[in-house]
Amino acid sequence: MTTDYAAVQQQIQSAVHLLTDLQTRLAPSAMNAGLAALEELSAQLEQASGGQASPDAQRAALAQCQQRLRDLSDWLDRKKTEVAEAYRQSLGAEKDTFEAMQAQEQEQLHPIPYRIRQSFGLVSAAGDVLVSIGSGLQDLSGSIERQTLNTLEQSAQVESPASLQTGFDSDTDPAPSPYSP
């Protein structure tokens, strides 16, 4: 299970790198809130991965991670909208002409909109990474749930008396028909 936590931590680091790159392209303070939220998310995930924590505590910590991630996704969506608006404003009526150009031509003739468009791509990539982090958190939560159920099933397996055994296996046998005699 620690491998799953490590994979999510790596995804968080990927998001940190993307936001750091964006910070150099946009205003230096533009990504501070996102970077701080990623640090908090990483710390919460570290808390959830604590081997001594009970399954309930792990699930609660993962729920906090998921809430932090939703907040971060909302923040990133707002940033994406801001970048898209800056792109549209920087080009005005020349947007269609600009988008028909090759990348080198865009960079040479309109360097500011070109950089803004590159930033938009990074914001979109960061959003994709956040989706992957969310999937990883869901997988971790499901894994904890399965482990808990397996533990409960193993502790509940008690031999029943022969008089109570029906020969019916609820996992593999279909439900009895309500119309059978």
Per DSSP, the three-state class of 170 is coil
Give the three-class secondary structure for 147.
helix
Domains in the chain and their CATH numbers? 2-153 (1.20.120)
Q: What is the pLDDT of residue 160?
A: 47
Provide block-wise average pLDDT over 10 residues at a time, the chain (181 residues).
78 93 84 91 85 81 92 95 95 92 94 94 95 93 85 64 57 71 58
pLDDT of residue 163: 45
**SS3 per-residue string spanning 31-89:** CHHHHHHHHHHHHHHHHHCCCCCCHHHHHHHHHHHHHHHHHHHHHHHHHHHHHHHHHHH
Helix 55-91 and helix 111-156, axial crossing angle in degrees, nearest 10: 160
Instruction: Give the pLDDT of residue 180.
Output: 61
Residue 11 · residue 136 · CB < 8 Å: yes
CB atoms < 10 A from the CB of 168, how many? 9
pTM: 0.76
What confidence score (pLDDT) does residue 89 get?
Answer: 95
